[in-house]
């Protein structure tokens, strides 16, 4: 009979291998899905996994897609390490986009070089403000931040919907739910000629580095890690739980808000009611698959971006709905959670004691 036996010490090897194992299992599962849907699995693999990286332009699209994921995920990871469960990144993303749009629309027509920095600040503040609600309710009233931040996602979506159908609707937009296009000064400058890759990507890399320094090298980051691993020890050491909840949620919100800003000021160039499209939730998966550390998040963002684009490719060439990406993303997370068991346990064939 197969049994799980506790290891004396967690296996370092497995903590690196486990995500790889999960990826392999996901690919295998995916090939099964393709077959079950009547598609040739090899063809499916090529279109889903290889098309997105076949040339420079495709790679730039990959990096572009990964940008909001990296931004959100590093903010979330800091909170998750401290057991602060910010599930509402999707909503904070939207509020950041709204804030940035507000600035862009208010100064519409301006050529000032300060407009873009102002939008960046607004995006971060908008996201942080939306995350401040669950922070306040958790610290003052003990309300569970998972449920509060999640409810606020639905509220945020409805708010955006109201804005783009109502007061911010583009008068020349044929009644589509969208705002005016932003002026040039309100758009992110391009990073690479001939691609859509923009400043947001550089911001994301910068934030990853900052996140790493914070988590692993600063005392504040240390305090958060202790609070997540051993809350009683944090109390014993005098680390303020309240402060950490605020830091975790505000940083997560600000990062998500930045991501929202970088979406509307990037290739989209406007606010629409489909602005978030699941990035906030995908970022949760990225944070876990990336093991809550900056380098892992970098890799995991690229992987998730691949899955997104793969889904779009599948829609175009395989006639499958693009929501197949979500199936792959979910499978990845499940397999990761499952293969993590081997870090602390090993498989044994158990025979009865004589």
Could you list the residues that contact another protein (CB under 8 A)?
A: 4-10, 85, 87, 137, 141-144, 146-148, 150-152, 154-155, 158-159, 161-162, 165-166, 217-220, 222, 225-226, 229-230, 232-233, 235-238, 240, 281, 284-285, 288, 321, 323-327, 329-331, 333-334, 337-338, 340-341, 344-345, 353-354
Distance of CA 9 to the CA centre of its chain: 31
Q: Are 119 and 182 in contact, with CB atoms under 8 Å apart?
A: no
**Distance between CA 213 and CA 225 in Å, rounded?**
13
d(CA 11, CA 323): 36
**Encoded tokens for 141:** 């009233």
Q: How far is the CB of 343 from another protein (least distance, A)?
A: 11
CB of 104 to another protein, least distance (A): 22
Kindly state the smallest distance separating residue 218's Cβ from another protein, in Å: 5
**Secondary structure element (H or E) that encloses residue 349, with its range:** strand 345-349
Find out whether 226 and 239 touch, Cβ atoms under 8 Å: yes
Shortest spacing between CB 107 and another protein, in angstroms: 26
Q: Which is nearer to another protein, 118 or 146 (CB)?
A: 146
Minimum distance of another protein from residue 113's CB (angstroms): 33
| Contact indicator for 331, 91 with CB cutoff of 8 Å | no
- Which of residues 114 and 337 has its CB atom nearest to another protein in the complex? 337
- For another protein, the closer CB: 85 or 201: 85
Output 207 or 336, the one with its CB closest to another protein. Answer: 336
- Dihedral angle, C-alpha 86, 21, 305, 37, nearest 10 °: -110
Which long-range contacts link 322-325 to residues 24+ away (Cβ below 8 Å)?
Answer: 324/33
Interatomic CA distance for residues 242 and 82, integer angstroms: 11
> For residues 283 and 86, what is the distance between their CA atoms, to the nearest angstrom?
11
| Burial bucket for residue 232 (CB in 10 Å: 0-12, 13-18, 19+) | exposed
Backbone angles phi, psi at 62, to 5 degrees: -60, -45
C-beta of 13 vs 337, nearer to another protein = 337
Dig out the tokens for 190 from the structure: 């391009």
CB of 112 to another protein, least distance (A): 33
Identify which of residues 52 and 311 has a Cβ nearer to another protein in the complex. 311
Q: Which residue has the tokens 């705002």?
A: 179
Nearer to another protein, 117 or 321 (CB): 321
Which CA distances in Å does 35 have to 39, 290, 308? 5, 29, 20
Nearest-approach distance from CB 216 to another protein, in angstroms: 8
CB of 55 to another protein, least distance (A): 28
Residue closer to another protein, measured from CB, 46 or 274: 274
Q: What gap in Å lies between CA 322 and CA 136, rounded to an integer?
A: 38
Q: Are 83 and 227 in contact (CB under 8 A)?
A: yes
Least Å distance, CB 261 to another protein, is: 22
């Amino acid at each position: 009979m197969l049994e799980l036996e506790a290891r004396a010490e967690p296996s370092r090897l497995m903590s690196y291998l486990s995500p790889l194992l999960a990826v392999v299992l996901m690919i295998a599962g995916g090939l099964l899905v393709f077959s079950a849907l009547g598609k040739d699995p090899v063809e499916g693999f090529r279109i889903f996994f290889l098309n997105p990286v076949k040339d420079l332009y495709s790679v730039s699209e990959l990096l572009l897609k990964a940008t909001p994921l990296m931004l959100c995920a590093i903010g979330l990871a800091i909170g998750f390490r401290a057991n602060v469960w910010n599930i509402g990144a999707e909503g904070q993303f939207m509020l950041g986009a709204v804030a940035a749009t507000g600035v862009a629309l208010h100064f519409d027509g301006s050529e000032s070089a300060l407009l873009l920095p102002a939008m960046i600040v607004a995006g971060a503040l908008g996201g942080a403000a939306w995350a401040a609600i669950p922070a306040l309710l958790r610290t003052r009233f003990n309300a569970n931040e998972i449920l509060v931040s999640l409810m606020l996602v639905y509220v945020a979506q409805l708010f955006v919907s109201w804005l783009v159908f109502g007061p911010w609707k583009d008068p020349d937009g044929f009644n589509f739910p969208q705002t005016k296009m932003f002026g040039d000064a309100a758009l992110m400058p391009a990073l690479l000629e001939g691609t859509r890759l923009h400043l947001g990507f550089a911001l994301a890399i910068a934030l990853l580095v900052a996140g790493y320094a914070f988590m692993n090298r600063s005392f504040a980051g240390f305090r958060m890690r202790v609070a997540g691993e051993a809350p009683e020890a944090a109390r014993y050491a005098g680390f303020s739980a309240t402060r950490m909840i605020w830091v975790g949620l505000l940083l997560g919100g600000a990062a998500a808000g930045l991501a929202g800003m970088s979406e509307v000021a990037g290739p989209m160039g406007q606010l629409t009611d489909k602005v978030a499209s699941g990035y906030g939730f995908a970022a949760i998966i990225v944070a876990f698959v990336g093991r809550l550390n900056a380098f892992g998040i970098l890799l995991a963002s690229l992987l998730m971006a691949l899955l997104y684009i793969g889904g779009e490719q599948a829609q175009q060439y395989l006639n499958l709905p693009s929501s197949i990406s979500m199936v792959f993303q979910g499978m990845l997370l499940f397999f990761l959670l499952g293969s993590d068991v081997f870090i602390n346990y090993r498989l044994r064939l158990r025979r009865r004691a004589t």
